Structure 1
Amino acid sequence: MIRQIYVEHGRALLAYATRLTGDAAAAEDVVQETLVRAWKHGEALSDGSRSVRGWLLTVARNIVTDRARARRARPTEVAENPATPPMERDHSDGVVDTMVVLDGLGTLSAEHRRVLIEVYYRGRTTAEAAEVLGVPAGTVKSRTYYALRALRSALGDVVGVTR
């Protein structure tokens, strides 16, 4: 049945789809999808109550319309280009931040600076930092708290932020 439909209406269907899409490859896809739908809905074409060509052209138009709506609904996909590296964040912000923090650390007492280095820079837990520094864990916690307050104050002075 589909072969017969294609023989009788394929050229007209392809010409119509080409006019609608403006692209021969897209038109061939539309014709193929139209014929698949005709195969799935063979009972609608074989009952004789409607024009087969009219049904095919309507289905093709609906397919083209659906594809156009789908393209508008989602952003255009952009292929990756090996010649264009991915966007990288400007490293100068990180350098400036590091310099500001180092200046802030320089204003702290030696105990406060050592505890922040152990906990934040070296990533040690409170217990690990306490063992390395030779002080109780509670002392590490309180020094960390007061060191962060002092650092925040020092950084506020450096960047002009007051609390």
Structure 2
Amino acid sequence: MRSLYEQHARPLQGYVLQLLGGDVQRAEDVVQETLLRCWRNQQLVGSGQDLRPWLFKVARNLVIDDYRLRRARPKEVDGAAWLEDVLSEADDVDQVLSSLVLVEAFRTLSHAHREVLYETYYTGRSTREVSHVLGIPPGTVKSRLYHAVRKLRLALDVPGAVAEKPAAPAK
């Protein structure tokens, strides 16, 4: 077995690596299985014929069989996948932390902006209803809502939030 490995493992490993797209671990498994099958067929080892074509054919067949097997059954999950699922689940601590961050961001808004946000998002009122409740025109509600959301995004450091344009210099 040792001489079989010393003579054929390196070229076989390179061939199988190409077939598997560089997956070293799977290539080592295929080479090991190929050499083991050759060793089990004692008539091949002692016959004096060149084993390399047979070894390459067996390795290729093993790669094809493995490929077909992987396509036929569901995708395998690695051992760390459960940890990602556990870490991605929101819990009470995440909600509390999010609430604290949101409260701090709300404190950066003016009273008028907080009021419009509250009436629109918390109570679920329409622009016309908010206009009636606050006693301001609907256009003002829309404007305040737009600027409030924009400032809130900046305070929360949301990607894509645009800072206020600086005032144009007087001519």
**Class of the TM-score when normalised by the shorter of the 2 chains:** 0.3 to 0.5
Structure-1-length-normalised TM-score: 0.47
Larger Rg: 1
